[in-house]
């Protein structure tokens, strides 16, 4: 695979350059002149070795969205490992699409891109290899009313279940675990019978998000942050160290409270906007390199973030959520590339599929991390891969900010092994 031809040049303030960025696309001009948080944009170039020579791309570094936490729409507030903040997709959706356009994410995770696009009146298309992903997103495209959620919760028979998995007593009080087991059986039966409705779908999404966490708002005893579940053995060690036993939690109350918090963020206007696009959504469980449910040349904009090499253990982190949803976590083929070459090969396959589905003139904003303490710059890997697949590089945008402790614990930043800047390669089909 092509190696980067040289390191990025020393950044300089864009003002000192006294020229327009190459290609002068409106977005490049805007990034160059960015002042929103008081800092001026630093300019550099990203240089990569392409199949037919060097690829040199204007690169703009600044703080492009606020470092304050939880700025986005409250409906995004479900945890997921390595999700990005809604400000990232919002930035590109606003500038590169119009209402009614189609926005796609082939590595959709909790669905940040697609929910943000839908809240802005764009039609969401997306896929992920993990079926959990659509289960987290779909209900939020058609949010129910809280009164219906509470009525359904009240009608459920949560008493009629034995403890199904003794090992989970490491996380839960026996009575709470019985309730979790009863809800799980109910949801699986409804899915099997084809009677799972929008309210069930919503309750499943909320319950998944309450399975484990570090406060009484979750069903479990104190554990890791809610976007990942530790193993049973690790939880037993946490319990011993903290001298804790799982307290009784009332499943109905925990789910109702989180549901209320999510739905409080949804205005009537949001409901109308979502209703106009949700029925046209195309969500599937599929690998990024084969998405047959998406028609040729149907996409206006892709905003996505693939797994960064093998940094995040999605399978391990999601094992408990998968169990609850009846998903065999072992059978989910997550891309885990140990080497940069292997990663490039899987991204090449994803870009070939993007070439099929993105409209000529459409855009891709491809977010990659700064991995291995900055020694691997995945944007330099993406550029030749995307160019070979028929995409024209427009620019590289580097969002730099100080990550807070909260951001780290929610998996947004990971200064030791993961991301401490967000690096977005912007391409045109
Ligand atoms: C970095 S996360 C995406 C997070 C997303 N941007 C969000 O905000 O929630 C990467 C996602 O890629 C999925 N994934 C891994 N390998 C995949 C593949 N080959 N095809 C499609 N999705 C894949 C993982 O399940 C994970 O949800």
The DSSP 8-state label assigned to residue 393 in this structure reads E
Question: In terms of DSSP bridges, do strands 358-368 and 299-304 run parallel, antiparallel, or are they unpaired?
Answer: parallel
209 pLDDT above the threshold of 60: yes
Residues with Cβ within 8 Å of 156's Cβ and at least 6 positions away in sequence, in order, are 182, 183, 186, 252
Ligand 1 atom with the smallest distance to the CA of 106 is 21
326 pLDDT above the threshold of 50: yes
Q: Mean pLDDT throughout 298-315?
A: 84
pTM: 0.90
Could you tell me if the CB of 89 is within 6 A of ligand 1?
A: no
418 pLDDT above the threshold of 80: no
Between 355 and 332, residue with greater pLDDT: 355
Could you tell me if the CB of 126 is within 6 A of ligand 1?
A: no
pLDDT digits (tens, 9 = 90+) for 255-284: 999 999 999 999 999 999 999 999 999 999
Ligand 1 atom with the smallest distance to the CA of 312 is 1
pLDDT of residue 334: 75
Could you tell me if the CB of 140 is within 6 A of ligand 1?
A: no
Q: Mean pLDDT throughout 284-309?
A: 95
Mean residue pLDDT across the chain: 87
pLDDT of residue 419: 41
Q: How far apart are CA 70 and CA 81, in angstroms?
A: 16
Q: Whose CA is nearest to atom 8 of ligand 1?
A: 83
**CATH fold for the domain made of 12-131+268-314+332-428:** Rossmann fold (3.40.50)
Q: Mean pLDDT throughout 231-241?
A: 94
pLDDT of residue 14: 53
290 falls in which pLDDT band (50, 70, 90)? very high
Between 2 and 352, residue with greater pLDDT: 352
- Sketch the domain layout of the chain as residue ranges: 12-131+268-314+332-428, 146-263
3-state helix, strand, coil in the chain (%, to 5): 40, 15, 40
CB atoms within 10 A of CB 279: 10
389 pLDDT above the threshold of 90: yes
Cα-to-centroid distance, 20 and ligand 1 (Å): 36
Strands (DSSP E) found in 305-420: 358-368, 370-371, 376-377, 392-400
Segment of 30-44, 266-280, 334-348 carrying the highest mean pLDDT:
266-280
Q: Mean pLDDT throughout 288-299?
A: 97
């Amino acid at each position: 695979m092509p190696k980067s031809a040289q390191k990025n040049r020393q950044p300089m303030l864009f003002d000192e350059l006294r020229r327009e960025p190459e290609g002068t696309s409106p977005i490049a001009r805007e990034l160059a002149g960015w002042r929103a948080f008081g800092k001026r944009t630093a300019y550099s170039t990203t240089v990569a070795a392409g199949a037919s020579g060097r690829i040199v791309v204007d690169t703009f570094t600044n703080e492009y969205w606020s470092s304050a936490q939880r700025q986005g729409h409250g409906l995004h507030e479900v945890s997921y490992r390595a999700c990005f903040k809604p400000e990232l997709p919002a930035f590109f959706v606003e500038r590169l699409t119009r209402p009614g356009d189609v926005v796609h994410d082939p590595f959709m995770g909790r669905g940040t891109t697609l929910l943000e696009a839908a809240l802005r009146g764009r039609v969401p298309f997306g896929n992920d290899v993990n079926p959990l992903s659509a289960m987290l997103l779909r209900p939020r495209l058609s949010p129910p009313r809280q009164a219906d959620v509470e009525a359904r919760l009240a009608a459920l028979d949560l008493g009629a279940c034995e403890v199904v998995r003794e090992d989970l007593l490491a996380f839960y009080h026996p009575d709470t675990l019985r309730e979790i087991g009863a809800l799980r059986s109910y949801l699986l039966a409804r899915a099997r019978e084809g009677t799972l409705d929008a309210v069930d779908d919503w309750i499943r999404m909320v319950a998944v998000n309450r399975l484990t966490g570090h406060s009484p708002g979750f069903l479990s005893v104190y554990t890791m942050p809610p976007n990942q579940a530790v193993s049973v053995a690790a939880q037993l060690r946490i319990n011993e160290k903290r001298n804790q036993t799982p307290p009784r939690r009332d499943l109905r109350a925990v789910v109702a409270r989180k549901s209320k918090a999510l739905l409080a963020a949804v205005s009537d206007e949001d409901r109308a906007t979502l209703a106009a696009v949700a029925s046209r959504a195309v969500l599937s469980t599929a690998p990024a390199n084969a998405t047959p449910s998406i028609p040729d040349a149907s996409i206006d904009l892709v905003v996505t973030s693939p797994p960064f090499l093998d940094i995040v253990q999605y399978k391990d982190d999601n094992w408990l959520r998968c169990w609850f949803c009846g998903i065999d976590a072992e059978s989910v083929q997550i891309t885990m590339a140990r080497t940069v070459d292997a990663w490039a090969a899987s991204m090449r396959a994803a870009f070939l599929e993007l070439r099929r589905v993105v409209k000529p003139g459409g855009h891709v904003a491809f977010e990659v991390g700064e991995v291995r303490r900055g020694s691997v710059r995945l944007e330099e890997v993406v550029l030749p891969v995307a160019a070979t697949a028929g995409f024209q590089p427009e620019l590289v945008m580097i969002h730099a900010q100080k990550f807070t402790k909260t951001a780290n614990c929610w998996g947004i930043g990971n200064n030791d092994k993961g991301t401490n800047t967000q690096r977005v390669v912007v391409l045109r089909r």
